[in-house]
Structure 1
Amino acid sequence: MLSEKEYEDTLWKYNHIPKSITGQARRNIKQVYRKKLNEHYYASNYPPFEPSPYELIFINYRTTEETLIKLTKLINSCTLFTIDTESITVYKKPNKPALIQIQIITHELNSYILIIEVHHLPRSHVPTFYLIQQLFESLFQPENTIYVWGTIDELTKFTEFNLFSSDQIKLSRNRNLQDEFKLYWYKHHPHIKTSSTTNQKCICEACIGIQENNPWSIQAATAYELHKWLDKRHTCSTFDIGLDPKLVRLNSKELEYRQLITDYAANDCD
């Protein structure tokens, strides 16, 4: 949450972008300030989002064959999953893919979240690499439903790591919850005309500042539907540094930072 001074400063900058800055550069700057203001609003008005309990498992070159075989068997016994990804920003270049998060929802409604660290995978000739490929093969099956906030195409940029192909990701029943939520909100929250006889506040898309052709962010959906603040301050973190504490020896400060962005990545998928 911003301090009062930080909030006023950000709001002033948002409203006073120099006229000399135009085009995409202006839109980018405005978006940065808007995100800060939205974050402040949600943090000020809603309690923090608390994820449901889950077991977290990292997948990287330290992951054992036994663990990967167990996870593949678990995936084969389930049909409901969620997927999210994280990338890192690169100056004047496309974002670099860094993490794939998979939530496995069991029939007992237990939850497992896998964080695949694509910059810390085993070498392609190592047996565990083949087992990770098998894990994804089991995931992308026609009988499986995969929920995504957006489109499954966000996985296409990860095909360079040879864990799966662009054809494979289309095999499962992929549901775009972002599109579904927009339709849901439009249907259940039509515009309410102001009246002196009612204090009901209109929360149609137009009245809460979401344009007709724009998708909902997961943060906005969490705030307006669940009345919770989903912390998105770590969106631009260094997700490629190796989050699993087993990868390298770390001091307490390094461990704390990795735990912070691990929680962020896991909560994004829950």
Structure 2
Amino acid sequence: MSKSTYSTNKNYNRYSSRYSNQSYYVSPLEKLDRLTNKYQSKKVLENKKYEELVQEGKCDIFQISTSNYRYYHIHRETSIDVLNNLIEYAMNTTHYTLDTECQLQDPPKPSTAALIQIEFVYKNRPSILILMETMHLPVEHSRAFDKIKTLCRTIFSDNHIIYSWGDIKDELSKFYQYNLFDRNDIHQINDKNIQQKFKEWFHENHPSSSHVSLCNFANCEVRQLYICRWRTSPRI
């Protein structure tokens, strides 16, 4: 091969490589999916197994009619009127459920506390759900920020009962960095950890289920729960 031909091919390959790298775009959502699949492979496999059970007709996906709740996103764009209304609701609500989520980051960075999900529980009327996006809050000390802070502290009043899946104090400690509440606010919570109670109920009512091994109660999340038609048989 002549020097000129080699030089031309080398330049072409270099150009092609540069062009292909520039033209391939990876969206943030795709990056998150890749991270999830890579670092939570066990959870991905469990979810896949649940999906297979649904497809085989052995499970029904747990679904709630939207007529049973109203929901609000809490972030920097939430209006003062909405926040005032939610504070008023919180003053007249005594029972809540709570769950939190973290945002995966590229290793070696740790996950970032990103979402607090709170349900205002009522007996005879639709629930209110708030999704507090802590990575998108208003500027600290702004009027909107102070309203969100008041909302949190109202919900975490000592005469309110909050149900959670796991240790609520441990989960909420990850959110101290946002200055919406502090250790004193959280330690006055009347919390009810239903994880252990559910585990006891499940094993008592489904002692010989062939799918018990699928349930990792310590790591199970609300969105992963399925109402399953377990086939049980008496113990021998």
1:215 aligned to 2:218? yes
Q: Distance in 2 between matches of 1:165 and 1:226?
A: 43
Quick one: which amino acid aligns to residue 208 of structure 1?
A: V
Q: 1:56 to 1:226 in 2, by over 3 A?
A: farther
Q: Report the alpha carbon displacement of residue 74 of structure 1 after superposing the two structures with TM.
A: 0.4
Q: Tell me the SS of whatever aligns to 2:227.
A: helix
Structure 2 distance, partners of 1:28, 1:87, is 13
Matched pairs, number: 188
Higher helix fraction: Structure 1 or Structure 2? Answer: 2
Shift of 1:209: 1.1
Aligned-partner Cα distance in 1 for 2:51–2:112: 24
Residues 111/31 of structure 1: CA separation in 2 closer, same or farther (3 Å cut): closer
Contact 2:60 2:227 in 1 (8 A): no
Q: Report 1:19-38 matches (<5 A).
A: 29-30=41-42, 32-38=44-50
- Deviations, residues 57-78 of structure 1 (Å, cap 9, x unaligned): 1111111222211111101101
Pairwise CA distance, 1:36: 2.5
Distance 2:217 2:211 in 1: 14
Shift, 1:29, TM fit: 4.5
4+ long deviations beyond 6 Å: none
TM-score of the superposed pair, with normalisation by structure 1: 0.61
Q: Does 1:41 align with 2:53?
A: yes
CA contact 1:182–1:215 (8 Å) conserved in 2: no
Unaligned runs of 5+ in 1: 1-25, 191-201, 228-270
Question: Which protein has the larger Cα radius of gyration, Structure 1 or Structure 2?
Answer: 2
CA distance in 2, matches of 1:91, 1:76: 40
Aligned match of 2:73 in 31, 34, 58?
58
Structure 1 CA distance for aligned equivalents of residues 203 and 217 of structure 2: 12
Residue 4 of structure 2 corresponds to which residue in structure 1?
A: none
Q: Find the aligned partners of 2:121 and 2:77 in 1 and give their Cα distance.
A: 24
Counterpart residue identity of residue 61, structure 2: P
CA distance in 2, matches of 1:36, 1:219: 14
What is residue 158 of structure 2 aligned with on the other side? Answer: 142
- Aligned residue in 2 for 1:14: none
Of the three residues 187, 208, 222, the one matched with 1:170 is 187
Aligned to 2:101: 86
SS, match of residue 174 in structure 2: helix
Q: Secondary structure at the match of 1:90?
A: coil
1:196 equivalent in structure 2:
none
Report the aligned-residue RMSD. Answer: 2.9
Q: Distance in 2 between matches of 1:163 and 1:27?
A: 30
**Cα pair 1:103 1:111 within 8 Å, conserved:** yes
Give, in angstroms, the shift of residue 219 of structure 1: 6.1
- Taking structure 1 as reference, are residues 42 and 81 closer, same or farther at Cα in structure 2, changes over 3 Å only? same
Verify the 8 A CA contact 1:85 1:101 in the aligned structure 2.
yes
- Cα pair 1:182 1:216 within 8 Å, conserved: no
1:19 equivalent in structure 2: none
Q: Choose from 125, 137, 140 the match for 1:121.
A: 137
TM-score, structure 2 length as denominator?
0.69
Moved more, 40-49 or 158-167: 40-49
Q: Read off the aligned partner of 2:180 and give its amino acid letter.
A: L
> 1:33 aligns to what SS in structure 2?
helix
Go from structure 1 to structure 2 and tell me whether the alpha carbon gap of 1:61 and 1:137 turns closer, same or farther (over 3 Å shift). same
Compute the displacement of 1:168 (Å). 1.4
Change (3 A) 1:177 1:43: farther
Output the CA distance in 2 between the equivalents of 1:97 and 1:27: 17
Residue in structure 2 matched with residue 232 of structure 1 by the alignment: none
